[in-house]
């Protein structure tokens, strides 16, 4: 039977198991929207901005491991997806965007609402397509899902000219074979065995676990490795939840706002096992001074991640889970346990560092400390909530004070650092997990970047909770200005303790709004919010002077950290670093 391109499009999505599309209509995609009107298999979630649609698809993907799908119109609809694509690209998230395009005959003519979105999105997608003939459509869609989700995952965009969606052809569901794209899943056995012997010999090893562990679904294998070899684990921002944050071997996050003991352990280590990490500069600090005594083993599915930033002694290209299965087997069967004694000294040293400088903040009875809010959220949810964040201090405080024990419960824009990501991502996650508690921990700046998505949450009856840590500043910017620009707070004050009134904004959309000004109000507000089955905004008026500590100034070695200390001392340290 012949089908139109639009019909083939929906049939193909159904075959790929798509249940939800996040989208926004416009001229050239109205044909597809018309079919969605009475489609029983696929529901469209209408966001209030295309950026929101892509972040929602991203939140859906991160929280489920399945690809998230968005559908937008040509021109402005398509260009509005760019930030969402770039966000997903940097964090290796399988997001698929279908954009409408002007009819093929008009492409290149500056037609109404024409934008070269394939050209624009090329550097921020894993791959993209312009469909030129309806006959290629089903194959392209199949390839799209395969490319987005296999190897190192990433976003793919498919541009659909209007005439392609109306012309007809026979529907087929072809076999796949992309000769130029064959990801490597199995690690080189010899290299893995080299790694096993190095692990057995090392005296002060550290595991650095990243987003790749989450993407690979290798938490179980990672835990087995760490426990069997008694190696402490530090998790990058993207790796939080890949290893239990409450585990005695957990060092928390490393890097710029990482823990003292994670950074110390890396710097002192004689062996570092990077697993699904890309050694971002937020993690390594000054690259020449990073892990100076360590032999480095690096497991990554993408060869370009290896030796991009740091030297590597044993590179292993492959899927984390499959490599760890082999590694654990070799360790148990061929190498055998022989490290118990040496580990004792190392773990004792780490315990000392943990005691010397734990993560701290100064509690106050007068004014709400943001870390206190995060701690309370952790306490009340017992860690069993999907947590999204925006970008800035709110994100770092959450990373530090919420303990993630399981993967795919943590949605944050790490690589691009996209303000406005968290709220729509939380909406996408809530769609996928209607019965889970989903919370966006936000800053007053970031939340205003996609605040319109309140409407999406209300209309779809999504009980997403937003906890705004309101310091009426672009807090992270203000922190840098305080520390590095002589307290000249140039254009970073937002006055958002007055404009807007977040409680009223929430109410205007039909959500519930709460405000807490005193520390004693934090817990009651959170409890009430978590009880209500509705969208809730919580406006926590926090100590605007609060900073994120520890902090490694940009470009310094990661063990030269600033701590919460009297100001002069901090400044002295800063000078020493420069």
Ligand X SMILES: Cc1ncc(C[n+]2csc(CCOP(=O)(O)OP(=O)(O)O)c2C)c(N)n1
Ligand Y SMILES: Cc1cc2nc3c(=O)[nH]c(=O)nc-3n(C[C@H](O)[C@H](O)[C@H](O)COP(=O)(O)OP(=O)(O)OC[C@H]3O[C@@H](n4cnc5c(N)ncnc54)[C@H](O)[C@@H]3O)c2cc1C
Q: Under the rule (CB under 6 A), what is the footprint of ligand X?
A: 390-394, 417-419, 443-446, 469, 471, 473-477
Least CB distance to ligand X at residue 555 (A): 17
Indicate if 162 belongs to the active site: yes
Which pair of structure tokens corresponds to residue 285? 């600090």
Interaction partner, residue 308 (ligand X, ligand Y, other proteins, none; CB < 5-8 Å by kind): other proteins
Residues of span 307-326 touching other proteins by CB under 8 A: 307-308
Q: Which of 17, 76, 108, 303: binder of other proteins (CB under 8 A)? A: 303
What is the secondary structure of 477-518 as a DSSP string? Answer: HHHHHHHHSTT--TT-B--TTTSS-HHHHHHHHT-EEEEE-S
Least CB distance to ligand Y at residue 257 (A): 4
Chain residue whose CB lies nearest ligand X: 443
461 binds other proteins (CB under 8 A): no
Nearer to ligand Y, 23 or 212 (CB): 212
Which pair of structure tokens corresponds to residue 519? 């520390």
Which pair of structure tokens corresponds to residue 457? 């949450």
Continuous segment of H or E residues that includes residue 467:
strand 465-470
Which pair of structure tokens corresponds to residue 438? 């989903």
Nearer to other proteins, 76 or 303 (CB): 303
Nearer to ligand X, 422 or 513 (CB): 422
Q: Cβ(472)–Cβ(494) under 8 Å? A: yes
Q: Given 191, 235, 476, 538, which residue is catalytic?
A: 476
What is the rounded radius of gyration, in angstroms, for the C-alpha atoms of the chain? 24
Measured between alpha carbons, how far is 206 from 213 in angstroms, rounded to an integer? Answer: 16
Interaction partner, residue 307 (other proteins, ligand X, ligand Y, none; CB < 5-8 Å by kind): other proteins
Q: Given 3, 7, 14, 113, which residue is catalytic?
A: 113
What are the residues facing 94 on neighbouring strands? none
Q: Which of 38, 40, 177, 179: binder of other proteins (CB under 8 A)? A: 179
Measured between alpha carbons, how far is 7 from 421 in angstroms, rounded to an integer? Answer: 32
Q: Given 2, 112, 329, 461, which residue is catalytic?
A: 112
Least CB distance to ligand Y at residue 395 (A): 6
Binding footprint of ligand Y on the chain (CB under 6 A): 91-92, 152, 210-212, 215-216, 236-239, 253-258, 276-278, 280, 282-283, 300-302, 305, 319-320, 391, 395-396, 414-415, 417
Residues 223, 225, 230, CA angle at the centre, nearest 5°? 95
Least CB distance to ligand X at residue 205 (A): 34
CA nearest 80: which of 477, 420, 354, 357? 420
Least CB distance to ligand X at residue 453 (A): 15
Indicate if 50 belongs to the active site: yes
Residues 161, 163, 167, CA angle at the centre, nearest 5°? 130
Least CB distance to other proteins at residue 565 (A): 39
CB atoms within 10 A of CB 119: 11
What is the secondary structure of 80-98 as a DSSP string? Answer: TTHHHHHHHHHTT--EEEE
Stretch binding other proteins (CB under 8 A), from 42-50, 179-187, 238-246, 429-437: 179-187
Nearer to ligand X, 138 or 389 (CB): 389
x/- letters, 105..144, toward other proteins (CB under 8 A): -------------xx--xx--xx--x-x------------
In three-state secondary structure terms, 534 is: coil
Q: Given 11, 114, 126, 162, which residue is catalytic?
A: 162
Strands 95-101 and 43-46: unpaired
Q: Which residue has the tokens 């002069």?
A: 568
Interaction partner, residue 480 (ligand Y, ligand X, other proteins, none; CB < 5-8 Å by kind): none
- Taking CA atoms, 194 is separated from 208, 330, 550, in Å, by 18, 10, 36
Contacting positions for other proteins (CB under 8 A): 118-119, 122-123, 126-127, 130, 132, 147, 178-181, 302-304, 307-308
Active site residues: 50, 112-113, 162, 476
């Amino acid at each position: 039977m012949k089908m139109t391109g639009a019909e083939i499009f929906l049939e193909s999505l159904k075959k790929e198991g798509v249940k939800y599309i996040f989208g926004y209509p416009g001229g050239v995609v109205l044909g597809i929207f018309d079919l969605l009107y009475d489609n029983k298999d696929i529901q469209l979630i209408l966001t209030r901005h295309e950026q929101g649609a892509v972040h929602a698809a991203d939140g859906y993907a991160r929280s489920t491991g399945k690809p998230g799908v968005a559908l937008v119109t040509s021109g402005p609809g398509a260009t509005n997806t760019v930030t969402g694509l770039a966000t997903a690209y940097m964090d290796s998230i399988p997001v698929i965007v279908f954009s409408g395009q002007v009819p093929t005959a008009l492409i290149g003519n500056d037609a109404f609402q024409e934008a070269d979105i394939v050209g624009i999105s090329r550097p921020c997608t894993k791959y993209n397509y312009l469909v030129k003939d309806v006959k290629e459509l089903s194959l392209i869609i199949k390839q799209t899902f395969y490319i987005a989700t296999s190897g190192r995952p990433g976003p793919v965009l498919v541009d659909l000219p209007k005439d392609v969606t109306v012309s007809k052809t026979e529907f087929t569901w072809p076999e796949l074979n992309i000769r130029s794209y064959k990801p490597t899943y199995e690690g080189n056995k010899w290299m893995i065995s080299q790694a096993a012997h190095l692990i057995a010999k090392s005296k002060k090893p550290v595991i650095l676990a990243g987003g790749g562990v989450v993407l690979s679904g290798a938490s179980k294998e990672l835990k087995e490795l760490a426990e069997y070899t008694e190696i402490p684990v530090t998790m990058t921002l993207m790796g939080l939840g890949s290893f239990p944050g409450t585990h005695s071997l957990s060092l928390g996050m490393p890097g710029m706002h990482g823990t003292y003991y994670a950074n110390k352990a890396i710097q002192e280590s004689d062996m570092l096992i990077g697993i699904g990490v890309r050694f971002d500069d937020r993690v390594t600090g000054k690259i020449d001074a990073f892990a100076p005594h360590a032999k480095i083993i690096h497991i990554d599915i993408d060869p370009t991640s290896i030796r991009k930033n740091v030297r590597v002694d044993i590179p292993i290209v492959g899927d984390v889970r499959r490599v760890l299965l082999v590694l654990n087997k070799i360790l148990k069967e061929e190498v055998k346990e022989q490290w118990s004694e040496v580990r004792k000294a190392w773990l004792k040293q780490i315990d000392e560092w943990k005691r010397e400088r734990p993560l701290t903040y100064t509690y106050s009875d007068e004014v709400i400390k943001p870390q206190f809010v995060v701690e309370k959220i952790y306490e009340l949810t017992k860690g069993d909530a999907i947590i999204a964040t925006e970008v800035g201090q709110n994100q770092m405080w959450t990373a530090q004070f919420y303990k993630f024990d399981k993967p795919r419960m943590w949605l944050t824009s790490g690589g691009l650092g996209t303000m406005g990501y968290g709220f729509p991502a939380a909406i996408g996650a809530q769609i996928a997990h209607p019965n889970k508690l989903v919370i966006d921990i936000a800053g007053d700046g970031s939340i205003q970047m996609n605040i319109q998505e309140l409407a999406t949450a209300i209309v779809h009856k999504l009980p997403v909770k937003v906890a705004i840590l309101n310091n009426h500043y672009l807090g992270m910017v203000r922190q840098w200005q305080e520390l590095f620009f002589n307290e000249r707070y140039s254009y970073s004050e937002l006055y958002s303790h007055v404009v807007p009134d977040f409680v009223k904004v929430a109410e205007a959309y039909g959500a519930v709004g709460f405000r807490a000004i005193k520390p004693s109000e934090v817990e009651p507000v959170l409890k009430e919010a978590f009880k209500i089955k509705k969208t809730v905004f919580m406006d926590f008026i926090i100590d605007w002077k609060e900073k994120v500590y520890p902090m490694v100034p940009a470009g310094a070695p990661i063990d030269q950290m600033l701590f919460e200390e009297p100001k002069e001392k901090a400044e002295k340290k800063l000078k020493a670093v420069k």
